[in-house]
Amino acid sequence: MEITTTITGFVALYIFLLAAFAGYEIIGRVPAILHTPLMSGSNFIHGIVVVGAMWALLNAGSTLEQVIGFFGVLLGAGNAAGGYVVTERMLEMFKPSTKVAPSTEDKE
Amino acid sequence: MFSAFLIDAAYFIAAFLFLFGLKRMASPVTARSGIVIAGGGMVLAVAAAFLYGFDVSPRAQPHLGMNLLLLVIALGLGVSWAWYSGKRVAMTDMPQMVALYNGMGGGAAAAIAATELFSGNALAHGPVVTLLAVLGGLIGAVALSGSLIAWAKLDGRMNKTWRLPNQQYVNLGLFCAALAMGAALVVMGLMDVVQAPVFVIALFFIVALVLGVMLTTPIGGADMPVVISLYNAFTGLAVAFEGFVLQNPAMIIAGTVVGSAGTLLTLMMAKAMNRNVSNIIFSDFGGGDDSDDSEISGSMKAADASDAAIAMYYASKVIIVPGYGLAVAQAQHKLYEFVKLLQKQGVEVSFAIHPVAGRMPGHMNVLLAEAGVPYDIIYDLEDINEDFPQADVAIVLGANDVVNPAARTRKSSPIYGMPILNVDQARQAYVVKRGQGKGYSGVENELFFEENTSMVYGDAQKVMVQMIEAIKSLG
């Protein structure tokens, strides 16, 4: 498949503008206690780069492109999977108080 | 083509799930489901991307089998390595892990730029596409090598902060060289050159990688969180640019969202640390002639761990200020055990977290959460600072600069202007500390000399054990 340029000019700029504002608004309201998981979570989101690398590798027409494409997919997959695992691990630990009397034998 | 429609539909759903998931990550109550939802979007997008195989360019057609095989191997290796390392990494080592995964994303974006430039695809689509490919490649390559250096430094594999004489000019030169080569490629796209010379493209990427290394090596460990966050935003931007090149809306949206969110996060972190982003990247911080050893009157008073424990036991309101020293001593679990004893007695206990406690903003919250401390007794600086005057006891564990009143009063101090926790306003302050040394900034802490401050010397873990014993012996 050739690259068909359908997202061009002002349409591209509009997407860019709206997405930039969306990111700004979403992060602006996050409490500071979540900053580390959030940095890691946004790190996971740009792991979507792996699908672009997959396209590049599938459309590779020379050994050089195959080698670069291979590393692209490898790195992109690591970004997505690693970002997911560490973010999920961190967020899983955030728990509210067990809202009963102070004397609780919490499970370890 | 039906496969193209399926891919577009999958990307649309994935983009929605990313935004929805990120939104849910904004509150601790829904955060866990947020990452799971975003993860679902990622799985869907990757599954759909296999459909590209039905519709490859004619010149790639003979290689399709091989390419598919390589694809499966690369995906398998990347996912399994990252999954394994991500599951094993200790919570204290989280900053460098985020840096490493982020660098990989930047590398992937640079790799896309490289294949598009080497294959002639980018140039065939004119100067705008070439420009975006070049910019994304430059930013992605800088994020890759820069993040690797950041990882090496935070992981303790590279302790020296070396710099060349006139390093700023060297960096500027490298940046201009990369731009010049990028511009040459764009001009070739303008002049309908079909195949740019391989050495120009190769040199372009090499210079970009070297630039990332040179930008990062002079930066000290304390500023590294801001740098990681900045490279995170960089990678987002690179992904968005490559998304335009590939006409891939999921990459454009996800990359742009991360680019803007990451920029905001970087600015918020820098502000909390009282640092300026451009100073961090371009300055000569740590020149070493800040000799502000001066007229602090009074002396430090030492106290026993058991005395401090008993004072807290009979208090009605206690505020705990944890710092990274607490996590280094692995004392969070003991601390929470102690806190539960106090709560049982009816003492109101809150945790006060400075924005830069830990090794990056929010890191201390993760470390406390790991020990089981519920998030609703943990407060940010703005929310708790006015409570200190009502606190009977404030106890500082492994933190130093973030409670130094000099940041409010002493204009000559390097930390002047940094927001601090007002521990000095509590009726009684205890500081648990290993020795009499200074903080990260090398500044003497006035709090330690205050009338109502007592020092408890010792390893935080051992001190907590003594405190627990003291309370238990009271019955």
The model's pLDDT over B387-437, given as tens digits with 9 standing for 90+, comes to 999 999 999 998 888 888 888 888 777 777 788 899 999 999 999 988 776
Residue A12 near chain B (CB below 8 Å): yes
Write the ipTM. 0.86
Q: Which of residues 32-51 of A touch B (CB under 8 A)?
A: 32-51
- B213 and B310 inside one domain: no
> Do residues B154 and B359 lie in contact, with contact meaning Cβ atoms separated by under 8 Å?
yes
What is the number of CB-based contacts under 8 A between chain A and chain B? 421
Of B287, B315, B347, the position where a domain reaches its end is B287
Contacts of A81 in chain B (CB under 8 A): 78-79, 82-83, 86
Of B232, B258, B287, the position where a domain reaches its end is B287
> Do residues B218 and B167 lie in contact, with contact meaning Cβ atoms separated by under 8 Å?
yes
CB contact under 8 A, A37 and B77: no
Number of domains in chain B: 2
> Do residues A97 and A82 lie in contact, with contact meaning Cβ atoms separated by under 8 Å?
no
- B346 and B467 inside one domain: yes
Q: Is residue B282 in a domain?
A: yes
- CA-to-CA distance for B355 and B216, rounded, in angstroms? 23
Q: Is residue B465 in a domain?
A: yes
Contacts of B26 in chain A (CB under 8 A): 26-27, 29-31, 34, 38
- B357 and B399 inside one domain: yes
B401 in catalytic set: yes
Q: Is residue B22 in a domain?
A: no
- B133 and B279 inside one domain: yes
CB contact under 8 A, B86 and A97: no
Contacts of A19 in chain B (CB under 8 A): 240, 252-253, 256-257, 260
- B310 and B413 inside one domain: yes
Write the DSSP symbol of residue A59: T
Q: Is residue B468 in a domain?
A: yes
Name the residue of chain A whose CA is nearest to B371's CA. A93
Q: What is the pLDDT of residues B256-296, one digit of tens each?
A: 999 998 898 888 878 777 777 777 776 544 443 344 445 56
The pTM of this model reads 0.85
Interface test with A, best of B7, B68, B98, B337 (most A CBs within 10 A): B98
- B110 and B205 inside one domain: yes
Instruction: Spell out the per-residue pLDDT of chain A, length 108, in tens.
Output: 445 556 777 888 899 999 999 988 887 777 777 888 888 999 999 999 999 999 999 999 899 999 999 999 999 999 999 999 999 999 988 888 775 444 444 433
Q: Which of residues 54-73 of A touch B (CB under 8 A)?
A: 54-62, 64-66, 68-73
- Residues of the domain holding B333: 305-474
